[in-house]
Structure 1
Amino acid sequence: MGSLLEEGMYNLTHWHLTEITTGALEVSDDEACDDYQNNTSEEAVEGITYSEGQAVLVSVFLPIIMTLGIVNNIAFIYVVIRVPRMRTVTNCYLVGLAVADILFLVFAIGSRVWSYANSPIHRDDTPLGLSGFLLTQFVINTSYFTTLCFITLVSWERYNGVCRPHRKRDTKLRVFKLMAVSFLGSSLMSATLLLSLTKVYVVCITWPDRPTYIDWPRQRYHYFPVYDWVDKYSYGAQTIPFFISLIINVIFYHRIIKGLDKSMHRRHTHPNHRCSGGDTSTRNQIARMLVINGIALFALLAPFEIMSLFQLIGMFRGFTFLLTLEVRGHLVEVARIFSYFNAVVNPVIYTALSSRYRESFKITFMPAQCRPHQRQRIENSVHGSTVTVQCGVTSKVHESRM
């Protein structure tokens, strides 16, 4: 899910937030420069290069987050593949969400690490080149919009499972069609955002005349929209879908929670029918888990989108902002880190809140002799034997299989 405005869906460190110091510099005729930046003083150098804290963040902290997120999401995908009883409609959407999270982490954090390794300038996308930069933004934006689509599909599926249990379940073909349409729509929306990054603005840099700076880059590229209205469109297209998705999911969560309350009431008033219609306890547990997972997702993305919304409002006010550039920069960094954590925590929430998911992870990764007998019986059922339907063992009635 980079910097706000230099990383697609989180594109908030745009050229409007960049202060360029212009001076009368001598530049060779073969350098095509749109502007000049004089960094001949130590203070100017410190202002655009990595501080010690920023270097630790990009070289140590962010790679750890990326590694944890990739491992967590790959592990979840493998569990769904390994344990057939996990191949439900809901988990199909969650696998798509895991793939989107992996792509986001690789391109969002990976691009920052690559830029750090190839340029001393903080938040410098020049090492990516224009094509690499556009590809990075496209993948990040696509993963973002896909995440919103898949989390909404998960909410829709759980709403039907809890509040409309007798509704005919989606077929495998319909699920794949919904996923394909979500991915295609996200890709098209992402492609339109690239219009705000197609004009290259070249800034030529002068460094102190010392051997340390001989190999430092003499040019830095900024990416602009061709037309001013495109910039406003990119912010709106990034922000509005988030709040629309948030409202839709809040409605679903409200109805799911009400449905769970009714289900608990029926179980207390009719204790002799607790096991009728399948494993209601497991179904409700998974529904709660997915509601909490959705709330965490929107909570971690919200700071980011709120910053983007404020940026959009400021642009309509003639680039007049309530907060200073420095404060906005700190808030942007915090919002970015929240978005990275969002791509990491989903599998953790699944296993922490659902015994069914924990069982499946144990079946997949623990040695056979360490698995409880009941879990072995569940696993053996996927090889052809029939599972005895007991309350608390399986929820095939309420979790439609793929």
Structure 2
Amino acid sequence: MNSTLSLDDDLQCSSDAIIDLRFANPKDISAWFYTQADRYIILVCFPLLFIFGVIGNGAFLLVVAFIEEMRTKTNFYLVNLAVADLIFILAEVYENLITHLISPTVKSLSYNTPVGCGLMFTAIFGSHFASVAFMVLLALERYLAICKPLKHRMLVAKRRTLSLVVMAWIFGFIYAVTLVSPHFFVVHKSCIIWPDDEQYANLATVTINCVPIHPAYARFPYLMQSLPYIFALIVCIYMYICIIKNLSTRSEVTASTAGNLDFEQKARRVRNQVARLLITNAAVFFGCHLPHFMLRFNDALLIYTNGRVGWKLSQSTWYILFWCNRALGTANSVVNPVIYSATNSRYRQAFWKVFTCRWKQKAPKYRKIEVSSAATKFVSRL
């Protein structure tokens, strides 16, 4: 039985780290275990997301690596986004799935050193913040190409693009290390005294968790997780609206000046395809992460206002929302390649070439169609 505490020789629990559950009510005890919904999300959803995420993002990396015409500046940003997604998926699945398999309690992790805590959460948050930065760079690149073509020509140098990508990675991990990850840098070991029932007989009496390096950090990260997301959401919405308006106006003007019905139809099709890609990519990214940051923002409101502002959730409800939100955020890293192929025929053809091992096959030569210079400029900018 667990009425007495049996500890490892190298483990010392202070008085405030001993949790006596012998006389606790069943509701408080159940809070230490995963619910059925938690187990379904962790044991079913996360493995599926891992498999499809690795296959999809890996296939996109192969597409860009093997097919020369896919090595564009936009795809260079998307390649880095795919790498960030892979890091995020690997870290998230390990942190959730392996931890659950090792211990049935929700407050026990699989790593028990400060290095493990620091590396794990830095990988999760660093890759996510880098993804946010890449979303802004993608929107900025398309905004300049379509709305500010003269300025875009001044910023298309490969060295400048590489510098922006490096800065995005640096921002993601420095922001994580300095403002968010310190919330999880210290290993905290709690010693549990379980009730004297047979169902608790074989449970571990020690749980391991990652806690802040200083009590001041306990409130800090919940708000700091939301700031880059909110900034990127506002910036991307503004630039995407400008892009769609510009595409609509330009296609009508160029089609009327070209006096070519065939070009008018092609211009409308290209405009709609680009608009679908922009809207879908942005909506899925921000939509998948919005619930998690709303939950964290609500936590920050409750903490900073001492519970006067915000929604007070029960612990079981909070955990269900937490796991659902983390699975939804991980799903975003999985569906990006699907979005590319679903909204753009070039990506579909490129994926098909890679899956059928025909990436060395050259694209067929099409008959050259003479159109006006205005039409040529319009299509090239898309």
Coarse TM-score class (shorter-chain normalised) = 0.7 to 0.9
Answer whether contact 1:279 1:397 (CA < 8 A) is retained.
no
Answer whether contact 1:350 1:357 (CA < 8 A) is retained.
yes
Answer whether contact 1:73 1:98 (CA < 8 A) is retained.
yes
- The answer to whether the aligner puts 1:83 opposite 2:96 as a matched pair is no
Query: For 1:270, which of 236, 247, 257 is the aligned residue?
Result: 257
Answer whether contact 1:111 1:128 (CA < 8 A) is retained.
no
Distance in 2 separating the partners of 1:122 and 1:238 = 22
Query: Counterparts of 1:177-326 in structure 2 under 5 Å?
Result: 177-192=163-178, 193-209=180-196, 213=200, 215-272=202-259, 282=270, 285-320=273-308, 321-326=310-315
Query: For 1:120, which of 98, 104, 115 is the aligned residue?
Result: 104
Residue of structure 2 in register with 1:15 after alignment: none
Residue of structure 1 in register with 2:158 after alignment: 172
Instruction: Say what the alpha-carbon RMSD is for the aligned residues.
Output: 3.3
Residue of structure 2 in register with 1:37 after alignment: 19
Answer whether contact 2:17 2:190 (CA < 8 A) is retained.
yes
Calculate the TM-score normalised by the size of structure 2: 0.83
Cα displacement (A) at 1:247: 0.7
Answer whether contact 1:118 1:127 (CA < 8 A) is retained.
no
- The answer to whether the aligner puts 1:74 opposite 2:58 as a matched pair is yes
Cα displacement (A) at 1:85: 0.9
Identity %: 24
- The answer to whether the aligner puts 1:108 opposite 2:92 as a matched pair is yes
Q: Which amino acid aligns with 1:173?
A: R
Deviates more, 1:312-321 or 1:347-356: 312-321
Query: For 1:132, which of 107, 116, 138 is the aligned residue?
Result: 116
Answer whether contact 2:147 2:242 (CA < 8 A) is retained.
yes
Q: Which amino acid aligns with 2:88?
A: F
Residue of structure 1 in register with 2:348 after alignment: 358
Cα displacement (A) at 1:131: 2.2
Q: Which amino acid aligns with 1:99?
A: V
Answer whether contact 1:25 1:36 (CA < 8 A) is retained.
no
Going from structure 1 to structure 2, the CA distance change for 1:153 and 1:245 (only over 3 Å counts) comes to: same
Going from structure 1 to structure 2, the CA distance change for 1:212 and 1:318 (only over 3 Å counts) comes to: closer
Cα displacement (A) at 1:128: 5.2
Residue of structure 2 in register with 1:19 after alignment: none
Answer whether contact 2:113 2:187 (CA < 8 A) is retained.
no
Cα displacement (A) at 1:25: 6.8
Going from structure 1 to structure 2, the CA distance change for 1:388 and 1:94 (only over 3 Å counts) comes to: farther
Answer whether contact 1:107 1:136 (CA < 8 A) is retained.
yes
- The answer to whether the aligner puts 1:336 opposite 2:326 as a matched pair is yes
Deviates more, 1:99-108 or 1:322-331: 322-331
Name the SS for the 2:252 alignment partner: helix
Distance in 2 separating the partners of 1:36 and 1:226 = 20
Name the SS for the 1:216 alignment partner: coil
Cα displacement (A) at 1:272: 3.3
Equivalent residue pairs, number? 363
Residue of structure 1 in register with 2:362 after alignment: 380
Distance in 1 separating the partners of 2:93 and 2:45 = 10
Distance in 2 separating the partners of 1:367 and 1:188 = 40
Name the SS for the 1:191 alignment partner: helix
Answer whether contact 2:188 2:208 (CA < 8 A) is retained.
yes
Going from structure 1 to structure 2, the CA distance change for 1:26 and 1:128 (only over 3 Å counts) comes to: closer
Deviation string 1:343-375 (CA, Å, 9 cap, x unpaired) is 11111111111111112112222365xxxxxxx
Answer whether contact 2:189 2:206 (CA < 8 A) is retained.
yes
Query: For 1:141, which of 117, 125, 138 is the aligned residue?
Result: 125
Name the SS for the 1:380 alignment partner: coil
Residue of structure 2 in register with 1:13 after alignment: none
Deviation string 1:211-253 (CA, Å, 9 cap, x unpaired) is 7655532111333324343233322321111101111111101
Distance in 1 separating the partners of 2:305 and 2:204 = 35
Q: Which amino acid aligns with 1:365?
A: F
Calculate the TM-score normalised by the size of structure 1: 0.80
Distance in 1 separating the partners of 2:311 and 2:267 = 54
Distance in 2 separating the partners of 1:141 and 1:361 = 29
Going from structure 1 to structure 2, the CA distance change for 1:319 and 1:126 (only over 3 Å counts) comes to: farther
Q: Which amino acid aligns with 1:180?
A: V
Query: For 2:335, which of 337, 341, 345 is the aligned residue?
Result: 345
Distance in 2 separating the partners of 1:222 and 1:190 = 19
Q: Which 5+ residue runs of structure 2 have no aligned equivalent?
A: none
